Chain A
Amino acid sequence: MIIDKDVIIIGAGPAGLAAAVELKKNGVEKLVVIEREPFAGGILNQCIHDGFGVIKFNEVLTGPEYAQRYIDQAEKLCVEVLTSSMVINMSREKEITVLSPKGLVVYRAKSVILAMGCRERTRGALGIPGTRPAGIFTAGVAQHFVNLKNIMIGKRIVILGSGDIGLIMARRLTLEGSKVIAVVEKMSYSNGLARNVTQCLEDYDIPLLLSHTVINIEGKERLKSVTIAKVDDKGEPVRGTSQKVDCDTLILSVGLIPENELSKDAGMKLDEVTQGAVVDENLQTSIEGVFACGNVLQVHDLADHVSNEAEKAARSVINYLANGFEPQSKVEVIAGMGIRYVIPQAISGKRDTTFSMRVDRQWVDRKLNFSTCGRLIKSFKYKRLNPSEMVVVNLKTSDLKDVESLEVSISEE
């Protein structure tokens, strides 16, 4: 038996919930949200620190409270959320196979919103030499153990990578009684937000070793030590700078990867840089009627931006249900000098468009330029631009008139 729906949302984290609320508010009734975990809220449930909601609600909330805002709205609007249920397949015809407590269920939807979020890069992805002892965790797994399961993970801790979750965990584990020896970052700048370096590291006198990395892991049963070395500007360890640091735990906070296995199996076109779907200004993917938002599209640094993006995807779905298919737009958006990626990757130029992007290195006093065939359309000034901070800008339809291709680049003032 196949259950027909107007919209299926995969994932009930900040993206999925915000999309569901926006759809239901606009009268989309036949809607189901499918969530793998027993609770809605996604990763926000373990992000017990504050700092969420400043943009969306002009209030400072913790992760669980931010999630609750959307869970409450979803409940009030009677959104169907299927928990403890995992999507195991999505076809190009938008048939979704779900493994649920009731058994195998197959849905067919007119439109699908992908909101599966992301997962963490692991030691395997870094290829750090050494033994394979217990005591090596990704930052999110450490956070899950400490904040949800009441399990402490170690006493003497080294954190590799200065992603926000790593910084947050440095503070959390210090307050819980562990000694965080250092946060080690291969780049010459922090990968986390400036405010997290201040309130998580500086407040607790935790050293941040920039341009350093872990070059070896030692220990048989449990981690005994790691070897840390300085790296040169190519990221290669510098001879004679290595030092052995005794520790029982290594936490990795070295990046997030959009979780796109379902999209890949469906033959969706993915972007090599973001590892998320290639989308147009409607956030529609290369598969008709399938839209993507949140961390499965691009890794965000703020949940507030995720909610905004999800609401945008929902509005596109409403338009799709009402007015039918609009082929993926044709005008290519190119990440030029200084820009790592830009989303959307293609636009029509026929409507106001939101662009989100990341720069490829730190820039000070620079201009962010939008140009078509060498003609400058619009330019924005920035005091500083950091790879750790997503840049979001809006262009009006009038700005985008007659564009043939759109290049985004950084230049001197």
Chain B
Amino acid sequence: MKSEREITCIVCPNGCKLEVICNDTLIVKNALCPKGEEYARNEVMNPVRTVTSTVKVCDGVLPLVSVRSNKPVPKEKIPEIIQLLKEVELDAPVEFHQIIYGDILGAGADIIATREVKRSK
């Protein structure tokens, strides 16, 4: 079965409008770089995204620490991951790139802190 779709690449700010033709094989046109082709393949087979959010911190100079997944995760798991992170409460200090949640939902990605939060005096 042949199908065609247009996908906007999200890898970089260029936002290439990729033309994807699914036949027996997958053909990707209009990509300015190889990353676009890889993105289009993923997007058709198994769309993934890096998830970013915040997690509560007790006794920190800020009440939240920003976090992300250290690898892209399946798109459909994102709402559930966000819900899981809402339950997490950390004690300050939180270190830069500290692992907040290992292998979240078995997605093969760790959730890591994207900044440090020092303890408030």
Contacts and interface: CB of A to CB of B under 8 A. Distances in A.
B13 A150 contact: no
A305 B68 CA distance: 23
A87 interface: no
* Chain A to chain B: the 3 pairs with minimum beta-carbon distance, closest first: A194-B15, A48-B66, A64-B115
16 contacts: A48-B53, A49-B52, A50-B50, A55-B12, A62-B66, A62-B68, A64-B114, A146-B54, A193-B13, A194-B8, A198-B7, A198-B10, A199-B10, A199-B49, A301-B13, A389-B13
Interface residues of A, number: 30
Contacts of B64: 147-150
B8 A197 contact: yes
B12 A54 contact: yes
A65 interface: yes
B66 A147 contact: yes
Interface in A187-234: 193-195, 197-199, 203
B41 interface: no
Contact of A175 (B9, B68, B79): B79
B9 A195 contact: yes
Given A55-B12, A175-B53, A176-B82, 7 more contacts: A48-B54, A49-B52, A50-B68, A51-B13, A147-B64, A197-B8, A302-B13
Interface in B75-102: 75, 78-79, 82, 96
A64 B64 CA distance: 13
Nearest to B49: A199
A285 interface: no
A60 interface: yes
B105 to A, nearest CB: 15
A147 B54 contact: yes
Contacts of A55: 12-13
A68 interface: yes
Contacts of B8: 194-195, 197-198
Contacts of B50: 50, 60
A45 interface: yes
Contacts of A389: 13
B116 to A, nearest CB: 8
B62 interface: yes
Interface string B43-55: 0000001101110
A206 to B, nearest CB: 14
Interface in A376-400: 389
Contacts of A48: 52-54, 66-68, 114
A45 B62 CA distance: 11
